[in-house]
Structure 1
Amino acid sequence: MDCLEPPPIFVRISLHSVHLITFPTYALALFSLIFIKTKIFAIYRFFLIWHVLDNLFFELYSSVMVEPAIHSPYLMMRTTGILSKLGVSGSIQFNLFSVALAYNGASISELFYFRYKASVSYKEHKFTHFIQVLVYTIRTFALLSLIFSLATMHETSRFQLAQKSDFLKLNPLVTIVNCDTVYLIVPFSDYVSSITSTLWLSQTSLLIILVPSTTLFVKFNLPTSISETTLKVQNQLLKSLVFQTIIHAIMLGIPNCMFIYAFFNGYKDETLAYIAFICLTYHGFASTLALIIFTKPLRNYILETLKLKKTSSIQVSMKVSN
């Protein structure tokens, strides 16, 4: 079998045709965040630029650079994208994918943390300490994931050779595992996979706690003694937060839970696995689109730039203290 044989046609179409929509959306969001002139985004917009760029990078890396193929019921990922064509091994690509996933999770936690600080009088609530612990821990896990992956690339390749040899003794007909582009997933079989798996599972668990708890707390603790204009801004932030929660629950949370299940119990349905990966790949696009739609100053700026709305002479100012 050709080690670079691409995944099924429906996967390729799903992964690449959507770029016709996603790339213009990212470009529009970045253009608007860079050039918008409003106090609302004095600090927040720089973080949003990072968040959008992170989403774009994750999408490109997953769908273009890696473009994985799977072989049920075996826990293995065969990479077929640009990196494989350039000779980069599957183990290195998988390591980098785990790092990209960790930093994407950190970006999401920062997004919700900033929305939390912008929506409530966070210095007055003990809940802030709880959120800070989660966010700082997720940051730490992302940093550790990067350092550990870079430090153990050689060890990962060595362990992979041994694991593939053991696999072939049990499955001699599955010769595709000999491809250098194949990464064999053997959970907790060595210290590298054990630490990598623990970091991923821990960060996923923290995000599952952080995202809904932040949204629920903001919903029931919006300040009441504020002006009508500020209240409208706060309600817009809450609406955006709710939709971000729904998007990340469906397109990030569910796929990660499916991967965790397969991690320990295996899987048989390739189609379902591919759908989960496609959702994971494009969750950043859905998040960026929601950002544009439900962040009124940004939405208005885009509409005015595209001449779809008259320029407003009234601007709402809001300062988020650090």
Structure 2
Amino acid sequence: MLPVVHLPYPLLRATGYLADWGFSGLFQFYFLSALIIQTGCSVMEMFYFRYRASVFDYNEKRFTKFVKSFTLAFRFLTILFPTITFGTFFYSIKLQEEYKKELAMKDPSIPEITCYSSVLVAPFSDSVMISTMVMWLGCIVCTFSVIPSTTIYLNSHLRNTKNMSPGVVRMQKMLLSSLIVQTFVHGIMLGVPNIMFVYTIYFGSDLEVAAYVAFICLTFHGFLSTIAMIIFTKPIQNGILEVFRCSVAKFLSF
């Protein structure tokens, strides 16, 4: 999808294979949004799992209720978002046509407005878009509530714990550091484009370069996260090296 942000509202124009196959811009926008939310949910789940793996008596901690409540809320939003958006898809398509015609009358010099492969994001325009924005903001609140607080809590817990051996503590710190680095990558590559997108929806923007940079970040966040996981997680490094050695040995044996 290519961004076009010179309108009062963000206009996203799909130009890939899905557009060539007849999928609307609204469908691709909902699909991309659902994938981003699912990625955020997976990051939340990793922190929740790391918390339970690091704190043996987590059931007795008050902080567990805090982390668990936001994690469950994010799971609920992950399911609710595609349910509402795709459940009201044909209704939203009709609204999109109305919004595009209205803007096309105001500014007929932009041909992308009436294109079926484009989607116009107009906040507070209808119940579906309002619900979408509320769910999106809810996901952001859950993410920024759990990730920093869990990181601070686990760092303090691992420094003061007496229930683990030094070797186990070092391993837990290494795994936590790897998770923090991956989250930092996700925060930059996903969080910054999301913040830019939300800002553009409410206040408008004509920064085409920033929009392209945001889409590049969305595209490559998974690749950079995988590289960070390999670099900062020693067991994964050892596993990859072992696979590589076995592959080389088999190749040389021929």
State whether TM-score is above 0.5.
yes
The separation in 1 between residues aligned to 2:140 and 2:215, in whole angstroms, is 16
- Contact 2:99 2:120 (C-alpha < 8 Å) held by counterparts: yes
SS of 2:13's partner is strand
How many corresponding residue pairs?
241
The separation in 2 between residues aligned to 1:298 and 1:306, in whole angstroms, is 12
SS of 1:183's partner is strand
State the 1:98 CA deviation: 1.8
- Aligned counterpart, 2:250: none
- Aligned counterpart, 1:268: 206
- Aligned counterpart, 1:227: 165
- Contact 1:212 1:245 (C-alpha < 8 Å) held by counterparts: no
- Aligned counterpart, 2:249: none
- Contact 2:5 2:211 (C-alpha < 8 Å) held by counterparts: no
State the 1:296 CA deviation: 2.2
State the 1:268 CA deviation: 1.5
Q: Does residue 1:73 correspond to 2:73, yes or no?
A: no
- Which residue type is aligned with residue 244 of structure 2? L
SS of 2:101's partner is helix
The separation in 2 between residues aligned to 1:113 and 1:289, in whole angstroms, is 22
- Contact 1:119 1:237 (C-alpha < 8 Å) held by counterparts: no
- TM-score normalised by length of structure 2: 0.90
Percent identity over the alignment is 38
- Aligned counterpart, 1:192: 128
Task: Provide the aligned C-alpha RMSD in A.
Answer: 1.5
User: Equivalent residues in 2 for 1:7-46 (5 A)?
Assistant: none
- Which residue type is aligned with residue 62 of structure 2? K
Unaligned segments of structure 1, at least 5 residues: 1-67, 309-322
Q: Does residue 1:114 correspond to 2:49, yes or no?
A: yes
- Which residue type is aligned with residue 204 of structure 2? G
User: Equivalent residues in 2 for 1:203-282 (5 A)?
Assistant: 203-222=139-158, 223-282=161-220
The separation in 2 between residues aligned to 1:168 and 1:216, in whole angstroms, is 50
State the 1:236 CA deviation: 1.0
SS of 2:245's partner is coil
- Which residue type is aligned with residue 187 of structure 1? P
- Which residue type is aligned with residue 161 of structure 1? E
The separation in 2 between residues aligned to 1:296 and 1:123, in whole angstroms, is 29
Q: Does residue 1:288 correspond to 2:226, yes or no?
A: yes
- TM-score normalised by length of structure 1: 0.71
User: Equivalent residues in 2 for 1:63-212 (5 A)?
Assistant: 68-74=1-7, 75-121=10-56, 122-212=58-148
The separation in 1 between residues aligned to 2:117 and 2:167, in whole angstroms, is 56
- Which residue type is aligned with residue 83 of structure 1? L
The separation in 1 between residues aligned to 2:180 and 2:113, in whole angstroms, is 43
Unaligned segments of structure 2, at least 5 residues: 247-254
The separation in 1 between residues aligned to 2:88 and 2:112, in whole angstroms, is 24
The separation in 2 between residues aligned to 1:91 and 1:228, in whole angstroms, is 53
- Contact 1:248 1:283 (C-alpha < 8 Å) held by counterparts: yes
Q: Does residue 1:306 correspond to 2:244, yes or no?
A: yes
Deviates more, 1:233-242 or 1:124-133: 233-242
- Aligned counterpart, 1:315: none
- Contact 1:99 1:142 (C-alpha < 8 Å) held by counterparts: yes
State the 1:281 CA deviation: 2.3
- Which residue type is aligned with residue 69 of structure 1? L
- Which residue type is aligned with residue 138 of structure 1? F
The separation in 1 between residues aligned to 2:193 and 2:153, in whole angstroms, is 25
**Which structure: greater helix fraction?**
2
The separation in 2 between residues aligned to 1:257 and 1:305, in whole angstroms, is 40
State the 1:298 CA deviation: 1.9
State the 1:83 CA deviation: 0.3
- Contact 2:182 2:225 (C-alpha < 8 Å) held by counterparts: yes
